[in-house]
Structure 1
Amino acid sequence: MLRDVAVLALQGAHAFELGVFCEVFGIDRSDDALPVYDFALVSGTGDSVPTRHGFEVRTRHGLERLASADLICVPAYDPHVRQPDGLVEELRAAVERGARVLSICTGAFLLGDAGLLDGRRCTTHWRYADELARRHPRARVESDVLYVDEDPVITGAGTAAGIDTCLHLVRKEHGSTVANAIARRMVAPPHRDGGQRQYRERPLPQDGTGSLAPVLTWIEANLDQDLTVEAMARHAHLSPRTFARHFRRETGTTPLQWLTGQRVLLARHHLETTDEPVAVVAHRTGFGSVDNLRHHFARRLGTTPQAYRRTFGGLPGSG
């Protein structure tokens, strides 16, 4: 169980990514019956550390604090800036004893320096993916995803994707009810499908087609219905081919993949917050049959609906 979180304050750290870790794991939300972590900012000197923005972060803990952490978080930083001696050894030792490491953006370079990306899928900000692959050729760098979970090594893409990455781990440890509650407190979306491809620089569409937000809202309100690409396209007043093209451009995924992801999220919510039979959950979420629900749960979560309910049912906020 995730209890002890240490966040590295690296020389040249980026304030936003450092702040994401502090926001997700460092705030006491016990007033909402949410988990409270033993949280610490850690530096190689146990003193102040200069960030890339011209101010310093003062810490009270040195690298020895990493020895007790269940999770070590690595923010974005300038990967050309030398970090304290012994840090990569501490990261390797932490993983060997069973701790997780989680990086955002260029924080993946430090995990690579520690050899923790070798043979593993990983990601970073799309602007630095090629450089990460050159510096760490044994890493399997994926540039079109928001995060990669190769437990115990979790890597997130750039900047705001750090929120997605942290909430993913919270969801994995505590269930979607807790992750959604933290997201609401942060005024952030609890889950985003798609990947980084949608955020890369590209020419604006020339056909004047507007956002698909209205049709996405309609889909979310009708997940229990028999939704085909043709039905979605009709609602968007587009041909199926044009709709699919615009959908991938705006979300980074296909209509059916996005639909399945939303149905799995809804099923998780029902399993956590109700005692409805799994067959009823399958019907309410549009999967139709228990077998179909089990199939998609196994593919997306590596578990069964029944096992998920045993683990996460009855969490704070459940009805």
Structure 2
Amino acid sequence: MPRVALVLSPGFQMMCFAAISAFEIANVAAGERHYDISILSEEGGPVKSTLGAALETERFGDPGDFDTVIAGGLMKPAPVSDGLIAFLRAASVRCRRVASICTGAFMLAEAGLLDGRRATTHWHFARDLQARFPKVKMEEDRIFIVDGPIWTSAGMTSGIDLALGMIEKDYGADLARVVAQNLVVYHRRAGGQSQHSNLLKMNPKSDRIQNALTFAQQNLRAALGVEQLARAANLSPRQFSRAFRAETGKTPARAIENLRVEAARLMLEQSRHSLDEIAVENGFTDRERMRRAFLRTFGLPPQTIRRATRFGAEG
């Protein structure tokens, strides 16, 4: 049974436990104990969070006792103790994988575990990490990254995606999907997905426009004309078009294209589907329409983005 350890430092952010909950739910969903979970700290005993509440922890022991060690993030990076560095270095040798949530990446970097590796962290701190640890191959626009035995994730909630990725690798996609459903996560975001979603960038003010965008994201393969989107928003087509542009700064057609391009890029990076299959799956009808949309958005055709992604994965 894989033993998973979450490593905490004083001032840890409570959202770290969202990721650990995924392993807990995996046990429940599977109907048997797939994971044994431990909460560790350097000294053991109570460790205070950013909220001031203390959590009881076990003292560091032999990292070889664990399959997976995850460094929990702080609200902002802080100095790392010699004891924590030594534990993480030992874990990188003794454990199957070592991971970080959010600013926990600074701890891995301080221990030298990210040297020469691809890694990510919360976008707000990514450039600071790169400046302090220039040997790290920072990819600041990723949800999580797996480079060999080292896993790093972006902001706190992306720790859930990282944990679901581990569950999928350990026990398959079906269990990961059930866990995501139990956590009421819409879907498991793949590691290559951008931290900066087009849905977040559009940031509609009303629930009606948000409902239309959510409907669109869930039905990208459909035609998605103004009339269909207006029905999802419970507005007339004329009211919808006016309200949509006022709230998002985009026309419905351009917004839908952006969502399709985002989803198609993710499939390019994370799957082996052909360009024709990706185009149809994301509502472009054919690969030529998808190519033109990619050129408008990225200035590059899909083939170039796929080649660059594969080169980066092999580098």
Smaller-chain TM-score range? Answer: 0.5 to 0.7
- Structure 1 residue 91 displacement after superposition: 1.1
2:251 aligned with 1:254, yes or no? no
CA-CA distance at 1:254 after TM superposition: 3.0
TM-score, length-normalised on structure 1?
Answer: 0.67
Distance in 2, Cα, partners of 1:15 & 1:64:
23
Among residues 36, 39, 42, which one is paired with 1:41 in the alignment? Answer: 39
Residue 196 of structure 1 aligns to a residue in which SS? Answer: coil
8 Å contact 1:129–1:141 — kept in the other structure?
Answer: yes
Distance 1:200 1:48, change over 3 A: farther
Please tell me the residue identity of whatever aligns with 1:254.
Answer: E
Which residue among 83, 93, 96 is the counterpart of 2:93?
96
Asked if 1:8 is matched to 2:4, the reply is: no
On the 8 A contact 1:183/1:190 being kept in 2, the answer is yes
User: Are residues 1:145 and 2:142 paired?
Assistant: yes
Change (3 A) 1:181 1:31: closer
- Decide whether the 8 Å contact of 1:11 with 1:83 is kept in 2: no
Distance in 2 (CA, whole Å) between partners of 1:202 and 1:164 is 20
Matched length:
256
Opposite residue 37 of structure 1, the aligned amino acid is: Y
Q: How far, CA to CA, are the matches of 2:39 and 2:123 in structure 1? A: 27
CA contact (8 A) 2:199 2:213 kept: no
Could you say which residue in structure 1 is the equivalent of 2:49?
51
- Name 1:196's counterpart in structure 2: 195
Work out whether residues 164 and 176 of structure 2, in 8 Å CA contact, stay in contact via their aligned partners in 1: yes
Percent identity over the alignment? 28
Instruction: State the distance in 2 between where 1:203 and 1:28 align.
Output: 34
Residue 21 of structure 2: aligned partner: 23
Residues 215 and 79 from structure 1, CA distance in 2 versus in 1: closer, same or farther, beyond 3 angstroms?
A: closer
1:1-319 map, 5 Å: 3-17=2-16, 19-26=17-24, 29-30=27-28, 32-33=30-31, 35-59=33-57, 61-78=58-75, 80-192=77-189, 194-198=193-197, 211-219=212-220, 245-247=254-256, 254-258=262-266
Unaligned segments of structure 2, at least 5 residues: 230-236, 242-249, 282-305
> CA contact under 8 A between 2:14 and 2:49: conserved in structure 1?
yes
Computed over aligned residues only, the root mean square deviation of the Cα atoms, in angstroms, reads 3.8
Shift of the 184–35 alpha-carbon distance from structure 1 to 2, 3 Å rule, reads: farther
Q: Does structure 2 retain, via aligned residues, the 8 Å contact 1:5–1:40?
A: yes
Check 1:143–1:109 CA distance in 2 against 1; reply closer, same or farther (3 A cut): same
**Partner-residue secondary structure (3-state), 2:255:** helix
Shift of 1:114: 0.6
Shift of 1:233: 7.1
TM-score by length of 2: 0.68
